[in-house]
Amino acid sequence: MANLPKSILAKDTPALLSSVARERRARLLNSVCLALALLWVVLVGFTLAPEPDDFQTYWRGAWSVAQYGDPYALIHGRQQPNMYIYPPLFAYLMLPLGAVSLRAGQIIWFGLNVLLLAGLIVVCIRASHSVLARRYWGVLALLVAVAPPTRLSLQLGQVSILMALVMLGSFLLAKRRAYLSGLLLALSCLIKVFPAALGLYFVLRRRVALLWAGAAGIAI
24-33 residue pLDDT tens: 888 899 999 9
Note whether residue 20 is domain-resident: no
Note whether residue 150 is domain-resident: no
Please enumerate in sequence order all residues whose Cβ is within 8 A of that of 130, keeping only pairs 6 or more positions apart, or say none: none
DSSP 78: S
pLDDT digits (tens, 9 = 90+) for 196-206: 666 666 666 66
Note whether residue 37 is domain-resident: no
DSSP 87: -
Residue 38's pLDDT band, with cuts at 50, 70 and 90, is very high
Note whether residue 215 is domain-resident: yes
Note whether residue 5 is domain-resident: no
* Alpha-carbon radius of gyration of the chain: 23
Domain that holds residue 179: 159-220
pTM: 0.80
Note whether residue 75 is domain-resident: no
Residue 194 has pLDDT above 80, yes or no: no
Residue 36's pLDDT band, with cuts at 50, 70 and 90, is very high
Note whether residue 19 is domain-resident: no
Burial (CB < 10 A; 0-12, 13-18, 19+), residue 135, is middle
Note whether residue 193 is domain-resident: yes
Phi and psi based region of residue 62 (left: phi greater than 0; alpha: psi -120 to 50; beta: remaining): alpha
Residue 213 has pLDDT above 60, yes or no: no
Domain tally for the chain? 1
